[in-house]
Amino acid sequence: VEFGTCDVLGELSAPVNAPLQAAASNVDLFIFSYVLVENAKGIHAKFVENGGSLLPGLFRIAAPGAVFLFLDSSFRLWDLIVRMALECGVKVEERRPRWVRGILKHQRLSNLSNNLLVLIKNPHTANGT
């Protein structure tokens, strides 16, 4: 497992994102853990203005079968993220896990399944499109 820093508001080709861009086609699992909600306005604006920001670039160059795991304090970005993937020509299988009632006993954890999004780049085509 290798972790690195990146700029989620910058393009994938931005210098700060160069290590990620170089490795992205060989990555099986991308994890975005509590980094997107605080940048929601910027992510939305960049995507609407020019189709940009880090995520569309990753969706385009990720290997077929790559998994994108999003964990955050809110699910309000999930629809935008799925739209980004689809508009980048990436067919994805969307998974929003559901928990069996009673497994999560603590009330604060009862909304956990809404705060988790898993996208899988279509593994059935050569380039995922």
* pTM summary value: 0.79
- Return the pLDDT at 58: 92
Who's near 58: CB < 8 A, 6+ residues apart?
A: 12, 20, 24, 30, 68
- Return the pLDDT at 129: 45
d(CA 56, CA 10): 11
Q: Is 116 exposed, middle or buried (0-12, 13-18, 19+ CB in 10 A)?
A: middle
Cβ pair 36, 74 in contact under 8 A: no
Nearest to 32 by CA among 47, 43, 18: 43
- Return the pLDDT at 127: 47
Residue 71 three-state SS: strand
Mean pLDDT by 10 residues, the chain (129 residues): 83 92 92 82 81 86 90 83 84 65 53 73 60
Spell 7-34 as b/e; 16+ CB within 10 A means b: ebebbbebeebeebbeebeebeebebee
